[in-house]
Structures are given as structure tokens and as C-alpha cells.
Structure 1
Amino acid sequence: MRRLGVILAGGQSKRFGSDKAEALLNGKPLIEHVRGHLAIQCDAIVICGREYTGTKSIADRPSPGEGPLGGLNAALSHASKNGFDEVLSVACDNADLPEDIAEQLSPPPAYVALQPVIGLWPATMSGQLNQWMRIQDKRAMMAWIEESGARPVQLSRKTANINNPEDLTALENPNGI
């Protein structure tokens, strides 16, 4: 079973006030924490929505600026064309993922309840999502999730949802968020 990890990093970080992916957590950019978590669970990693040194970047599909769903669509297409069986999707600020998140989400399709950007998707859904995006104006993850039949999963522990600098500060605190 070959798994592709995708970091969805095309957001504008409006609530955060600066580039969230580059924000430091314990002296390291958030995106580096995410990449580290994916590296132990995935055979390869790509990033959607931005360029980042040391990680292959792929453009949203069908066009740039499509948000997390465009990134997921691009990752599923890349996965199906390159021999991957599934895609583990996360956001650039999911810096405290469980080391067994893919196992907790298996079998796909599944997503983390209340954090739908985090999900495990079979690469075979590539055509379905691409077609759905061609006929749908909505670019909301929850709309796709309903269409796909993905199931919500409660993780064994809560993961941080970093929307502002205060959330980041709380995560650095030993008590967490």
C-alpha cells in the first residue's frame, strides 16, 4: 500500500495575520512539523498551494486558487498517475498530528470530525472529485465529503486548530490547547 501525503498550504492566513505555514512552533516553522509527521507515515509528500524548499509542489486542480479542495483534487490526480493507493491530506498548520493518524483514519475515505481538511482518501477517487469540481460551484470540503460518502473519525486525542497567534502560543505551552 503506497501512501502520498499532501500538505494543503494555499490559504491566505487572514485570521492568523501573517504566513501561518512559516510561523514558528518551538523554533521550527509549522509546515516543518507537519512534514515531519507525514514523513513517518507516507511514502512521498507533496505540497499544494505554495512552493516550499525540499518538497515537491503541485498546482491546485483544476486551476490555482481553488482552496483545500483544489489541493486535494491535485493530490488525488498525482497519486493515481504515480502508483499511490491513497492520499493522507493535512493542512500546513496541523503541527501536532498523532503518529498513527493514517491508521486511525483507515479505511478510506475518512476525515477528522471538525477538521475535514485532515483525511485519508483512496487514489481511485481522483476521477470522481475532478468530475464533481467541474460541475459544482461549491469549493467547500464538507460539500465534497457529503458527496464522497467519507466517514467522520474521532481521533484518539484532540489535534490543535491554529487560527491565530494565541492558538500557537497555547500549543507551545506545556498544557497545550
Structure 2
Amino acid sequence: MQKTESAVMGVILAGGLSRRMGGGDKGLSFLDGRTILERIAARLRPQVAALFLNANGDARRFKALGLSILPDGVPDFPGPLAGVLAGLDHAAQAGFDEVAVVPCDAPFLPADLVTRLRAGTQAGRGAVAVSAGRRHPTAALWPVHLRTALRKALVEEDQRRVETFLRRHDFAEVVWPAEPFDPFANVNDPGGMAEAEALLAHFPAA
């Protein structure tokens, strides 16, 4: 897809090991008849010019999503920052200036996520989502020019905490209301799945 001048590339971060869900791919867990990843892709795809999935291992397990896969370029599963870096590297090659990243376990993401993140920041600065007083470091807008600093942090400094990197580079905070439900509620353990199912029972359109 050819980008427009203001287009944003999107990346769903699914390169982790899902230890709290007992291993496997938590994004492939079903929630009311659809996988969590299907829900996220459907929510994010209209907001970006091109959408990719950051994942490692056999890509065939994600075939139903119809997304191109971006594996980590840094070995040994160093965490979400490796997925972000893979996205930034691909975006640089494709001519994008910004990348919106989202986690693979948040099925209720806002339909205005990218628009509001972009409106809440200034040129050259990133933005991170906040709800209920909590920052969501894997729901953020990244300027592509940070890829050099990110590679140094990962490879040379072994810096793996997303929040640490965001604070170091002064990402702007963009706040969402958490009522009637938190749009960044995640499903990273069996308890989170039960809560998501209960939420859908009360808000079927979520």
C-alpha cells in the first residue's frame, strides 16, 4: 500500500511468550467467537495505512489474520521493545514517519486511538496512552527516528523495560476515560479473560 504524507503504520505486538496464560499465543484465545487478535486487527486496521503483526516462530499459525509478519530482529525474546524496533525498521524502509503499536491482549482498543495519540503530541515526539491513572506503554505512537536510540538501548544497554525508554524520551501522555469501561483492559491471564467475557456481556459492542 502506498502511504500518504500523514499516514501511520500499525504494529500489533505479539512476540512474547505469554507465560501468564500458560504459554502459547494469548492473542489466539477466543473471546465471544473471535480471537483477541482478530478483534484488535479489526479495530486498528481502519486507523492506519498498513498493519503488521510482530510475532516469532511459525508464521502459519497467524494465517487467518491476513497480516504480514515482522519477527524480532534481536534474539532471545527481549520483550516488546524488540517488536517496536522491528516495526520502526520496517517503517523506515517503507517511508513512514510514525508507527502506532498496540499489545496483542487488549481487545477493546479505542476506535480513535491513532488520531488522538497524534493530536496529543508534537512533531518528533512520541505519545503513550493513559487510562484510570495508568500508562499503557505498549499502546503508543512512536516516531521512526527513535529506532537508532532504541537499538542502542536494546543491544548495547540491555534495556528491556518499555516504560523506562518512554520516560527517557519524554513521550506525551494522552488520557482516555475508563468509564463505562477501560478501553485498554487486557487479557494476560485466565482472570483477565473472565473479566473480558463479563465486560462483553454488559457491553456487546465493546
Establish whether TM, by shorter chain, passes 0.5: yes
User: Which residue is equivalent to 2:14?
Assistant: 9
Pairing partner for 2:176 from 155, 159, 166? 155
User: Which residue is equivalent to 1:61?
Assistant: 73
When normalised by structure 1's length, the TM-score is 0.90
Pairing partner for 1:109 from 126, 130, 145? 126
User: Which residue is equivalent to 2:195?
Assistant: 170
Contact 1:5–1:44 (CA<8 Å) still a contact in 2?
A: yes
1:37-52 → structure 2 map (5 Å cutoff):
37-50=43-56, 51=59, 52=62
For the pair 1:90 / 2:117, whether they are aligned, the reply is: no
1:106-140 Cα deviation digits (max 9, x unpaired) = 23501123321110111222222123323211211
Contact 2:40–2:108 (CA<8 Å) still a contact in 1?
A: yes
Distance 2:112 2:76 in 1: 31
User: Which residue is equivalent to 2:90?
Assistant: 78
Distance 1:103 1:170 in 2: 28
Pairing partner for 1:30 from 29, 36, 45? 36
Give 1 or 2 for the bigger CA radius of gyration.
2
- Residues 73-82 or 166-175, more deviating: 166-175
Distance 1:66 1:126 in 2: 16
Distance 2:72 2:176 in 1: 28
The size of the alignment, in residue pairs, is 177
1:79-129 Cα deviation digits (max 9, x unpaired) = 111011211101111110010011221235011233211101112222221
Contact 1:7–1:46 (CA<8 Å) still a contact in 2?
A: yes
Q: Which runs of 4+ in 1 moved over 4 A?
A: none
Cα 1:63–1:17 change in 2 (3 A) is closer
Distance 2:9 2:75 in 1: 21
Gaps of at least 5 residues in structure 2 are 1-5
When normalised by structure 2's length, the TM-score is 0.79
Instruction: Report the alpha carbon displacement of residue 64 of structure 1 after superposing the two structures with TM.
Output: 5.2
- Residues 38-47 or 56-65, more deviating: 56-65
Percent identity (aligned): 31
Distance 1:63 1:46 in 2: 19
Q: Secondary structure at the match of 1:40?
A: helix
